[in-house]
Amino acid sequence: MITPPFLESSGAAIANYKISNTLDLASHFQTCSQRRMSGRLDLSLSDDPKPMWSFFFRLGQLVWSVGELHPFRRWNRQLAQYCPQLSVNSLPQHSIQSDAWNSEALVELMKQGQIQHSHLSAIVAGSILELLFDVMQAAHRTAPLVEIQLTYRQLSFLSIESNWLTCLDAERAWQRSEQAWSLWQQCGLESISPNLAPVIWDHDGLRQQTSLMTYDNLAKLANGRWTLRDLAIKLKQPLVPLTRSLMPYVKQGIMGLNSIPDLKLQPKSAQQALVAYIEDSRFDSSAMSQILDQAGYRFLSIPDPLQAVPMLLDQKPDLIFLDLLMPIANGYEICTQIRRITAFQSIPIVILTSSDGIVDRVRAKLTGASGFLSKPINSDKVLETLRRHLAEATSPENTS
């Protein structure tokens, strides 16, 4: 099991317990909290000795958590929610190569000033609460056939690396997760894991029961690639109402819920471009993110055009996709602002719009746009445009 960089090492197991229900587990969390213990609780199912979840305590408070299922997806969700300017794809290369990639990456981002301590606290707390929920659901779904094995180990904390740690009250964290699990049960979702991915099985049946807009949105996102938790973050909707809205289609067999693997992330090479997309529509942004992620590009979402210039200066993307119609400032204005900056005078800027007329294309050219792409977003067209403009930007006549 992973040992984060703020720990010396894992000590030998000093206690082992078999847990048959969540009340027993709550009692152990309460004991760790009240006795101000510093250590790690490893939780595994009795039919699989490998730890599924680990919770780290320092003086009775929770400071870290590790889960075997979907670690990249979980951290991608936390980053998207609390640090939208970052993504797992933009983590330091050596961090992703390490077993303790998530903790090492956060340490480095803190030291570089890219995230604040408040962001760190929210990310760590969000991960802990997700994993506690999963433990509660596992205890409910497997009992009495499978028990949960709990192992406690003492740990030593490095004073230098632990000064950035965020501490979460263990009993309060348990209560919050218990409330979330109770609401999940009350809504009849106890047999549904939020780590499952919705997928459309009967497109014709779904069209008949939904509006055209609803169908289009579901077709874009309920594609079997994103879990319920992923979609809640992407759509900025509470998890429970989102899941409940899909259940009638699931019960009718129009949609299904599948188990899916974790995101496949590899250490990024210098050749893998960072692509920014200035777009206020979360649906179009999600579609673009999916296309670029699958093609191996790094993706930077900028939903607020007023934050575009500072975020571009900070992240320095290789290409910019820019939506034409936005409520605060249109794409022409943003393109003109970007071109005024010396560092961005040669960067490819491609304007996207559903209004593909000659006047629009001429005006886009006059504002300094490199190209024009028609909506709706199409994977083949996006990737062809991306490769062409990146190739032109790196050709000998365009480099110094």
Regarding whether 43 and 143 lie in a shared domain, the answer is: yes
Average pLDDT estimate for 363-390 = 86
Regarding whether 306 and 242 lie in a shared domain, the answer is: no
Q: How confident is the model at residue 82 (pLDDT cuts 50, 70, 90)?
A: confident
In a domain, 2, yes or no: no
Regarding whether 19 and 158 lie in a shared domain, the answer is: yes
Q: Which of 107-111, 174-178, 284-288, 290-294 has the lowest mean pLDDT?
A: 107-111
Regarding whether 203 and 149 lie in a shared domain, the answer is: no
What integer pLDDT is reported at residue 228 of this predicted model? 97
Query: How many angstroms from the chain centroid is the CA of residue 99?
Result: 19
Count H helices and E strands in the chain, helices first.
15, 13
What integer pLDDT is reported at residue 268 of this predicted model? 47
Higher pLDDT, 12 or 352: 352
Of the CA atoms within 13 Å of residue 301, those in its CB half-sphere come to 25
In a domain, 264, yes or no: no
Query: Over the stretch 160-198, which tens digit does the pLDDT of each residue have?
Result: 455 567 789 999 999 999 999 999 999 999 999 999 999
Which of 150-154, 174-178, 217-221 is the most confident on average? Answer: 174-178
What integer pLDDT is reported at residue 99 of this predicted model? 43
Cβ-proximal residues to 186 (8 Å cutoff; 6+ apart), any chain: none
In a domain, 161, yes or no: yes
For position 326, which CATH number holds? 3.40.50.2300
Regarding whether 33 and 154 lie in a shared domain, the answer is: yes
In a domain, 33, yes or no: yes
Q: Does an H or E element contain 15, and which?
A: strand 7-19
In a domain, 191, yes or no: no
Regarding whether 180 and 31 lie in a shared domain, the answer is: yes
Regarding whether 145 and 65 lie in a shared domain, the answer is: yes
Which tokens in the block code for residue 67?
């889960």
Q: Which of 48-62, 194-208, 273-287, 386-400 has the lowest mean pLDDT?
A: 386-400
In a domain, 266, yes or no: no
What integer pLDDT is reported at residue 13 of this predicted model? 57
What integer pLDDT is reported at residue 326 of this predicted model? 80
Higher pLDDT, 364 or 62: 62
Residue 47 has pLDDT above 80, yes or no: no
Number of domains in the chain: 3
What integer pLDDT is reported at residue 272 of this predicted model? 77
How many Å apart are CA 286 and CA 301, to the nearest integer? 9
Regarding whether 219 and 155 lie in a shared domain, the answer is: no
What integer pLDDT is reported at residue 356 of this predicted model? 65
Global pTM reads 0.67
Residue 267 has pLDDT above 50, yes or no: no
State which residues form the domain around 157: 7-186
In a domain, 269, yes or no: no
Regarding whether 77 and 48 lie in a shared domain, the answer is: yes
Q: Which of 142-146, 147-151, 323-327, 366-370 has the lowest mean pLDDT?
A: 142-146
Regarding whether 311 and 224 lie in a shared domain, the answer is: no
Q: What is the DSSP letter of 164?
A: G
How many Å apart are CA 210 and CA 246, to the nearest integer? 12
In a domain, 94, yes or no: yes
Residue 307 has pLDDT above 70, yes or no: yes
Regarding whether 151 and 14 lie in a shared domain, the answer is: yes
Q: Which residues pair with 372 in a beta bridge?
A: 351
Q: How confident is the model at residue 146 (pLDDT cuts 50, 70, 90)?
A: low
Regarding whether 249 and 175 lie in a shared domain, the answer is: no
User: Between helices 331-339 and 358-366, what is the axis angle to 10°?
Assistant: 20
